[in-house]
Structure 1
Amino acid sequence: MDTNVIGASEFIKVFSDGSVERFIPITAPASVDMYNGYKCKDVTIDPLKSITARIFIPTTTDDAMLPIIVYFHGGGFCIGSTTWLGYHHFLGDLSARSKSIVLSVDYRLAPENKLPIAYQDCYTSLIWLSQQKQLESWLQKADLSRVFLSGDSAGGNIAHQVAVTAIRDKECPVIIKGLLPIHPYFGSEKRTELEMKEGSEDEVKSNDMFWKLSIPEGVNRDYYSCNLEKMEVSISEWSRFPNVLIFVAELDFLKERGVIYAEFLKKKGVNVNLIETKDEKHVFHVFRPDLEPARLLQKQMNEFIHSI
Structure 2
Amino acid sequence: MDTTVTGSSEFIKVFSDGTVERFIPETAPASLDLYNGYKCKDVTIDPSKPITARIFVPSTTTVAATKPPSLPVLIYFHGGGFCIGSTTWLGYHHFLGGLSANADSIVLSIDYRLAPENKLPIAYKDCYTSLIWLSQQKPTESWLENADLSRVFLSGDSAGGNIAHLVAIRAIRDKECPVRVRGILPIHPYFGSEKRTELETKDGSAKEVESNDMFWRLSIPEGSNRDYEGCNFERMEVSLSEWSRFPNVLVFVAELDFLNERGVMYAEFLKKKGVKVKIVETKDETHVFHVFRPNSESTRVLQNQMKEFIHGL
Tell me the amino acid that sits aligned with residue 29 of structure 1: P
- TM, length-normalised to structure 2: 0.97
| Structure 1 residue 24 displacement after superposition | 1.6
TM-score (norm 1): 0.99
1:160-214 Cα deviation digits (max 9, x unpaired): 0000000000000000000000000000001111111110110000010000000
Deviation, structure 1 residue 5: 2.3
Query: Does residue 1:20 correspond to 2:7, yes or no?
Result: no
Q: Does 1:45 align with 2:45?
A: yes
Say whether residues 1:270 and 2:271 are aligned partners. Answer: no
Partner of 2:36: 36
Correspondence list, 1:228-267, <5 A? 228-267=233-272
SS of 1:60's equivalent in the other structure is helix
The alpha-carbon deviation at position 59 of structure 1 amounts to: 1.1
Q: Which segments of 5 or more consecutive residues in structure 1 lack a partner in the other structure? A: none
Match of 2:69 in 1: 64
CA distance in 1, matches of 2:95, 2:132: 25
Range with greater deviation from structure 2 (222-231 or 160-169): 222-231
Shift of 1:10: 2.2
Displacement of 1:298: 0.2
Q: Which amino acid aligns with 1:24?
A: I
Deviation, structure 1 residue 19: 2.4
> Residue 55 of structure 2 aligns with which residue?
55
Stretch moving more, 22-31 or 60-69: 60-69
For the aligned residue pairs, the C-alpha RMSD in angstroms reads 0.8
Deviations 1:138-176 (A, max 9, x none): 000001110000000000000000000000000000000
Tell me the SS of whatever aligns to 1:24: coil
Structure 2 match to 1:127:
132
Matched residue, 1:105 = 110
Instruction: Point out the more displaced range, 60-69 or 137-146.
Output: 60-69
CA shift, 1:8, in A, is 1.9
Q: Percent identity between the aligned chains?
A: 79
Opposite residue 44 of structure 2, the aligned amino acid is T
Give the AA of the match of 1:249.
A
1:306 aligned partner: 311
What's the offset of the Cα at 1:30? 0.2
| C-alpha distance in 1 between matches for 2:60 and 2:141 | 19
CA distance in 2, matches of 1:281, 1:75: 15
Q: CA deviation at 1:4?
A: 2.2
- How many residues align structurally? 308
Could you tell me which amino acid in structure 2 is paired with residue 186 of structure 1?
Answer: F
Corresponding letter in the other structure for 2:261: E
Question: What's the secondary structure of 1:92's corresponding residue?
Answer: helix
Post-superposition offset of 1:3: 1.1
